[in-house]
Structure 1
Amino acid sequence: MLLLIGSFLGFMVIGVPVAIAMFVASGLYLLVYGIAPDIIIAQRMIAGVESFPLLAVPFFILAGNLMNIAGVTGRIYAFAVALVGWMKGGLAQVNIIGSVIFSGMSGTALADAAGIGTIEIKAMRDHGYPVEAAVGVTAASATLGPIFPPSLPFVIYGMMANVSIGALFMAGIVPGVVMTLLMMITVAIMAYRKGWGSDAPFEVRKLFAASLEIVVVLAVPLSIWLLTLTGLSLNLSVGVALLALIAVDWYFDFSAVMALMTPVILIGGMTMGWFTPTEAAVAAVIWSLFLGLVRYRSMTFRGLAKASFDTIETTASVLFIVTAASVFAWLLTVSQAAQLLSDAILAVTDNPWMFLLLVNILVLIVGCFLDTIAAITIIVPILLPIALRLGIDPVHFGLIITLNLMIGLLHPPLGMVLFVLSRVAKLSVERTTIAILPWLIPLFVALFVITFVPAVTLWLPTQMGLIR
């Protein structure tokens, strides 16, 4: 155990990338102790990615990239300005609402930060906000990406924990709403203390138009339900509702109705059993292509090629981490390291609430040093069996792990959102870190609520019959 974990940490300290550090540490362990043939590394790497749920990873990444090049992020931003830009601290509120909407398409915190976050930081700076305030609220709102469905960390966790990914997606909705409200309250308090005003005039016409877009989107599932009551088949009802939506959108030329429909289509399709969460990722790509090529006509073939190559690059890095982590996690089990760590934790406490408190502390620290995907693949095989022994629901546990790791993305030394925003805002890492610190308060409050009030997470998937 000392060789395996010690060499991994040693490589990390000298700056070796996480995936390579895990891969080399695993190879050294097998070379020194000879517990299995060298070919086992290749076999475990293949087994780590030979999974149907992992097909969702490249498709969700591609959907997010397509939304960016199709100009959907700009439409979402304009919609959010019309909806909440008139409030005090308006653009900070816009930042949060925009991230909520974009999270229903991207599934990752980095996509949020690098995509719509770039637009939001520039707008806030142009309106006179301190750059630290723009960076702080953008970082905090980016954590919403993997909490609202769809979510790449949920896909990886569901695969590792053998838990329904659909249940995880539904479980993230109420916690995401809680986080959104806490962040908006934080903005209101900061606006009052710092004297921030509104950033867009209060115009009944624009607010009505934005509200009408929400009504139109919500009317789609309602109209499907009403049509089925008249005796139409479900498939025909959906077809009629979508055709009516397209016609209304084309006639009124709404700013963001079709973009707002993305999470509705994904969640509705999974709820009605049309497609699995993995197939939902393909549906997200098809919808993104429809928006970019047909509805908005803003997508060029050059942009499409760029999005495809960016997806290949990102997918390769994510799946390489998964393969290396699968070997490392297997060796943690074979070397009895996982069992020793499990026994050590249970020796400290067998109280589920105290265990969750310890998990929060541990995963917050781990999240500062490890990539989210690598952290999930290493932590879950160790901690989930303990959670199950203590009667903790694995879906609830997945939300806790994911939110902790999202907070870790905002911290040095390896917080990726921290580095992305530092580059976007042209701030030093130190100044970016200080700018983010006040926004940890609503995130920690949300973490406390989600950890110790399981109903916040489990109520919706239980009502939908996804868990018992």
Structure 2
Amino acid sequence: MTLLLSSFVILMLLGLPVALAMAGSSLLFLVVSGTIPDVVVAQRMIAGIESFPLLAVPFFILAGNLMNIAGITSRIYNFAIALVGWMRGGLGQVNIMGSVIFSGMSGTAIADAAGLGTIEIKAMKEHGYNTEFAVGVTAASATVGPIFPPSLPFVIYGMMANVSIGALFLAGILPGIVMTLLMMLTVAYIARRNNWGGDVPFNLRRLGQAGIEIMVVLAFPMAIWLMTEVGVSVNVAVGIAFVALIALDWYFDWSAVMALMAPVILIGGMTMGWFTPTEAAVAAVLWALFLGLIRYRSMTFKALAKASFDTLETTASVLFIITAASIFAWLLTTTQAAQAMADAILGFTDNKWVFLFLVNLLILFVGCFIDTIAAITIMVPILLPIALKLGVDPLHLGVIITLNLMIGLLTPPLGMITFVLARIAKISVERTFAAIIPWLIPLFGALILITYIEPLTLWLPRVMGLTR
């Protein structure tokens, strides 16, 4: 156990990527111990990625890439300007609202930061905002992506914890709203302190148009429900609603209705039992292709090929991380390291609220050094049994772990969002991190509320009958 953990830490300090550090320490332990047959190691590595829910990984990554190349991000941004651009700190509010909408399609914080971030930072700088404010609000808003459904980290957690991924998606909705409100309040406070106004004049017609588009999106599931209530079969009702929506969208040429429909389709389809979360990822890709190739005609086959190759590259790296983390986590279990950690935590406290406080400290620390997917794969087998003993709902634990790891994406030395935005804004990583620091306040505030107010995560899954 000591050899496994110490070699992992040493390799990390030497600057090796986390996946190679886990693989290298595992290999060293296996060579030195000589007690575990090679075939068992190979079986464990294959078992780590041989999972149906993991099929969602490449499809959600591809969906996010397709949304970016199809110009859907710019439509979302323009819609957000119409909705909240007139408020104090206009483009800061737009930044947050755009991220919330985009999170309903991509499921990853990196895709949000890289896709919308390019548009948002450029626009904010052109409107006179300082670079630090633009980078900070972009980084903070990107963390909403994996909390609002769909969510790639929730898929990995659901697979590791053996809980309903659909229930996890529902559990993230209210926490996502809390994060959004706290960040919008932060923008309003900074704007008032700096005497900033809105960036577009208040236009009742434009605001009304945005409101109509939201009402159309909300009317879609309502229309299906009403038709089923009068005896129309569900499949026929869905077909009628879709045909009517497409016809109306083509006639009125709405800016973002079809893009806003993505989360409705995904969440509604899973709630109604039409497809699993894995199949929802495929639905997201098909919807992005429909919008890019047919509705907006903004996607070229060259761009489609590039998005596909980018997806293959990202998927390969993700699956390699999962493979390395799987064998590392399995060795932690077989060497009783995981049990020793669990006993240490239980020996310290048997109060679930203190336990959740310790979980926050641990995952915040781990998230600073280890990739999100690797951290979930390693930490869930350790923390979940303790959480179940202390009466913590696994859905609640999943949202807490994911939010901690999203905050970890903002902090060095790993801080992937920090590096992405530093490249986009063309500033140093040090300046980028300094810009992010004030935005940790609303994120920590959200973390405290989500940790200690259970209904924020469990109310919706309970209403839908997906948890007790």
Q: TM-score normalised by the shorter chain: which range applies?
A: over 0.9
1:95 matched residue in structure 2 = 95
Deviates more, 1:188-197 or 1:368-377: 188-197
Whichever residue aligns with residue 282 of structure 1, its letter is V
Deviation track 1:230-287 (CA, whole Å, cap 9, x = no partner) reads 2110110011011111011000000000000000000000011000000000001110
Separation in 2 of the partners of 1:273 and 1:339? Answer: 38
2:239 matched residue in structure 1 = 239
Deviation track 1:67-122 (CA, whole Å, cap 9, x = no partner) reads 11100000000000000001110000000000000000100000000001110011
Whichever residue aligns with residue 102 of structure 1, its letter is F
1:165 matched residue in structure 2 = 165
Superposed, which structure 2 residues align to 1:43-442 within 5 Å?
Answer: 43-442=43-442
2:8 matched residue in structure 1 = 8
Deviation track 1:427-458 (CA, whole Å, cap 9, x = no partner) reads 11111111001101110010001000111000
Separation in 1 of the partners of 2:196 and 2:408? Answer: 29
SS at match of 1:147: coil
Separation in 2 of the partners of 1:466 and 1:310? Answer: 35
Unaligned runs of 5+ in 2: none
TM superposition shift of 1:229: 1.6
Whichever residue aligns with residue 296 of structure 1, its letter is Y
TM superposition shift of 1:341: 0.6
Deviation track 1:178-226 (CA, whole Å, cap 9, x = no partner) reads 1101111111001000122210111111111111100110110011111
Deviation track 1:328-366 (CA, whole Å, cap 9, x = no partner) reads 000000000001111111111111100100110010000
Whichever residue aligns with residue 285 of structure 1, its letter is V
Q: CA RMSD in A?
A: 0.6
Separation in 1 of the partners of 2:160 and 2:322? Answer: 10
Separation in 1 of the partners of 2:459 and 2:282? Answer: 28
Separation in 1 of the partners of 2:194 and 2:424? Answer: 24
TM superposition shift of 1:288: 0.5
SS at match of 2:299: coil
TM superposition shift of 1:41: 2.6
Whichever residue aligns with residue 291 of structure 2, its letter is L
Whichever residue aligns with residue 42 of structure 1, its letter is A
Whichever residue aligns with residue 134 of structure 2, its letter is A
TM superposition shift of 1:17: 0.8
Separation in 2 of the partners of 1:102 and 1:109? Answer: 10
SS at match of 1:413: coil
Separation in 1 of the partners of 2:39 and 2:123? Answer: 53
Q: Normalising by the residue count of structure 2, what TM-score does the alignment of the two structures yield?
A: 0.99
Separation in 2 of the partners of 1:126 and 1:425? Answer: 12
Separation in 2 of the partners of 1:224 and 1:38? Answer: 55
TM superposition shift of 1:382: 0.6
1:17 matched residue in structure 2 = 17
Give me the identity figure in percent. 74
Separation in 1 of the partners of 2:305 and 2:27? Answer: 37
TM superposition shift of 1:38: 2.3
TM superposition shift of 1:39: 2.9
Separation in 2 of the partners of 1:277 and 1:307? Answer: 22
TM superposition shift of 1:35: 2.1
Separation in 1 of the partners of 2:52 and 2:120? Answer: 36
Separation in 2 of the partners of 1:180 and 1:123? Answer: 21
Separation in 1 of the partners of 2:356 and 2:217? Answer: 38
SS at match of 2:163: coil
Whichever residue aligns with residue 97 of structure 1, its letter is M
Separation in 2 of the partners of 1:35 and 1:384? Answer: 28
TM superposition shift of 1:40: 2.6
Whichever residue aligns with residue 460 of structure 1, its letter is L
Deviates more, 1:30-39 or 1:88-97: 30-39
Separation in 2 of the partners of 1:316 and 1:104? Answer: 24
Whichever residue aligns with residue 277 of structure 1, its letter is P
Whichever residue aligns with residue 105 of structure 1, its letter is M
Deviation track 1:401-436 (CA, whole Å, cap 9, x = no partner) reads 000000000000001001111111111111111100
Q: Normalising by the residue count of structure 1, what TM-score does the alignment of the two structures yield?
A: 0.99
Separation in 2 of the partners of 1:197 and 1:118? Answer: 23
TM superposition shift of 1:322: 0.2
Unaligned runs of 5+ in 1: none
Asked if 1:458 corresponds to 2:461, the answer is: no
Whichever residue aligns with residue 324 of structure 2, its letter is A
Deviates more, 1:31-40 or 1:56-65: 31-40
TM superposition shift of 1:45: 1.2
SS at match of 1:232: coil
Separation in 2 of the partners of 1:35 and 1:392? Answer: 36
